[in-house]
DNA sequence: GCCAACGTTGGC
DNA sequence: GCCAACGTTGGC
């Protein structure tokens, strides 16, 4: 059963437009350094899962596009071993890598759904992303919530 | 740029 | 194992 995920990215670092312009319209989702987010990628994500691509820490935060998981499973994040990378983690053991990535592929451009619209929507305000203090960068999305977004924003 | 909320670290 | 200090996230 395919799942739905919301994945945050700062557009100044990597935007949905960057994904669309990437080779094979695909990127390694590097830089996740949170155990809960990693565990979702490691334990729950499957190839073909839907991704709501979310822009954070920007002028108009919100869902800006659709993507999908395109790797069959999570695999070690190479940036954790690269001293030049901002994501370098000297405590990660190459024999037992601490951090993982999945591949994410562009699926479809959609009208943006602003965070403020999610918060204002009576049927969407329960979404994790709308909860205060919620900073998990990879989070599951309920099927009903995607259905409501499609019905009210994308049809 | 501010700062609340949260996760991690490390002394004890 | 507790918890204060610290660093980061991310909306505003």
Smallest Cα–C1' distance to nucleotide C12: which residue has it?
A59
**Shortest CA to C1' contact from A56: nucleotide:** C10
Percentage, residues of chain A above pLDDT 70: 100
For A122, the 3-state DSSP assignment is: coil
Of A86, A103, A77, which Cα lies nearest the Cα of A22?
Answer: A103
A90 touches strand B (CB under 7 A): no
- Residue A32 has which token pair? 């996740």
Q: pLDDT tens across A114-137, in order?
A: 999 999 999 999 999 999 999 999
**Mean pLDDT (10-residue bins), chain A, 155 residues:** 94 96 97 96 97 96 98 96 91 92 97 97 95 94 97 94
Spanning CA of A58 to C1' of C9, the rounded length in angstroms is 12
Spanning CA of A124 to C1' of B5, the rounded length in angstroms is 22
Do the bridges between strand A4-9 and strand A50-55 make them parallel or antiparallel, or are there none, so unpaired? parallel
**Shortest CA to C1' contact from A133: nucleotide:** B5
Percentage, residues of chain A above pLDDT 90: 91
| Gyration radius from chain A CA atoms | 15
Spanning CA of A73 to C1' of B2, the rounded length in angstroms is 40
Q: How open is the CA angle A58-A74-A54, to the nearest 5 degrees?
A: 15
Q: What is the DSSP string of A54-78?
A: EE-SSSS-EEEEEEEE-SSS-EE-G
């Amino acid at each position: 059963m395919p799942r739905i995920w919301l994945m945050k990215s700062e557009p100044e670092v990597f935007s949905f437009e960057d994904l669309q312009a990437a080779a094979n319209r695909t990127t390694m989702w590097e830089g996740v350094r949170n155990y809960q987010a990693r565990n979702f990628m490691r334990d729950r994500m499957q190839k073909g899962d839907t991704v709501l691509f979310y822009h954070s820490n920007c002028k108009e935060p919100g869902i800006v596009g659709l993507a999908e998981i395109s790797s069959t499973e999570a695999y070690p994040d190479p940036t954790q071993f690269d001293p030049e990378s901002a994501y370098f983690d000297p405590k990660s053991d190459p024999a037992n890598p601490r951090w993982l990535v999945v591949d994410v592929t562009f699926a479809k451009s959609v009208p943006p759904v602003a965070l403020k619209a999610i918060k204002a929507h009576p049927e969407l305000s329960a979404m994790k992303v709308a909860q205060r203090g919620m900073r998990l960068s990879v989070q599951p999305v309920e099927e009903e919530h995607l259905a409501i977004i499609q019905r009210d924003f994308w049809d």
